[in-house]
Amino acid sequence: MPYADWTPHRRDDGELLGWIRPEGEEWVAVDVLGRTASDPVEWLDAEAALEERGIAWLADPWMLEDEGDRPLRVRIVEATPDEEGVPGRIVVKIDDFGDMTRPATTQYTLPWPIPSRLRAPRDGDPDPREITR
């Protein structure tokens, strides 16, 4: 758990969705990448925010900047939060589009919580399925 006053929130099957942390008299939802998932709200609303967000988005493609002349399309392999003084990490790999016959792709280890250079794709990002010169 990242901080002693953060309470883990899990799905019915036990999968971690994030944490709920205090803020004044209210509560804030935080997802597994350390991003704020709600404004300060009542406890049940913070739980609902994490339930609504879920974790399916972890399987989506992401873009990693500052590793070359253009952003890299990557997939999240691991998201481990800070715990008991040990820094957490987010591990991503270059997107291999699920091709198990390819050699392993390059992995990058980033700090937790999510740094700004790891982001969701935007219009105009390079598509690695297209050959450009």
Residue with tokens 């790999």: 93
Determine if the peptide bond prior to 71 is cis (ω within 30°).
Answer: no
**Identity of residue 132:** T
Query: What pLDDT is recorded for position 132?
Result: 60
Domain that holds residue 29: 7-57
Query: pLDDT tens-digit profile of 34-88?
Result: 999 999 999 999 999 999 999 999 999 999 999 888 899 999 999 999 888 889 9
pTM comes to 0.86
d(CA 73, CA 93): 9
Domain boundary pick from 57, 77, 98: 57
> Does one domain contain both 64 and 114?
yes
> Does one domain contain both 76 and 102?
yes
Query: What pLDDT is recorded for position 129?
Result: 67
